[in-house]
A = this chain, B = another copy of it.
């Protein structure tokens, strides 16, 4: 076992699912493989379904939706909501800032550590801060 290298996708998807208590069905493994394949990814249900189709994974769109929700609820993925009517899923599930390119609607991770808070608000009484979502919206330079 090697803790240094990121786990190989084909092996990882089963472990991933097992650790989360999700049954490693063929569809879930296929989707997990796709998600884990390319480093940190930010994609929509439809985009993932498209990739699944290309890979002949035999996964229906409904299952993609259900699976993404399942993955999210066990903390394997994180939802990002930036545009109305479109949910992105991030394969990094920790709290980190994003770039949003307004021109083409794509999302990327902002460089690690590039956002730091000098101050954060106190949570109102009886509340606690779950996460702090930061989206840096980018547009083409005017000049």
A: residues with CB less than 8 A from B are 79, 81-87, 97, 99, 101-102, 110-111, 113-124, 126-142
With A110-B121, A117-B115, A118-B117 in contact, do A132 and B134 touch (Cβ < 8 Å)? yes
Known: A130-B138, A133-B137. 5 other contacts (CB 8 A): A99-B121, A115-B119, A115-B121, A132-B137, A134-B134
Q: Complex formed: what's the CA distance from A102 to B137 in Å?
A: 23
Chain B residues within 8 Å of A134, by CB = 132-134
Contacts of A126 in B (CB 8 A): 140-141
Contact residues in B for A86 (Cβ distance below 8 Å): 84
Taking the closest CB of chain B, its distance from the CB of A81, in whole angstroms, is 5
**Please, could you name 23 A-B residue pairs with CB atoms under 8 Å apart, sorted by A?**
A79-B84, A81-B83, A84-B85, A84-B86, A85-B85, A97-B121, A102-B130, A110-B121, A111-B121, A114-B119, A115-B120, A116-B117, A116-B118, A116-B119, A118-B118, A123-B138, A126-B140, A127-B139, A128-B139, A129-B136, A133-B134, A133-B136, A134-B134
Nearest B residue (CB) for A103: B127
Given A84-B81, A87-B84, A124 and B138 contact (CB-CB distance below 8 Å): yes
Nearest 6 Cβ contacts at the A-B interface = A114-B121, A116-B118, A127-B138, A130-B137, A133-B135, A118-B118
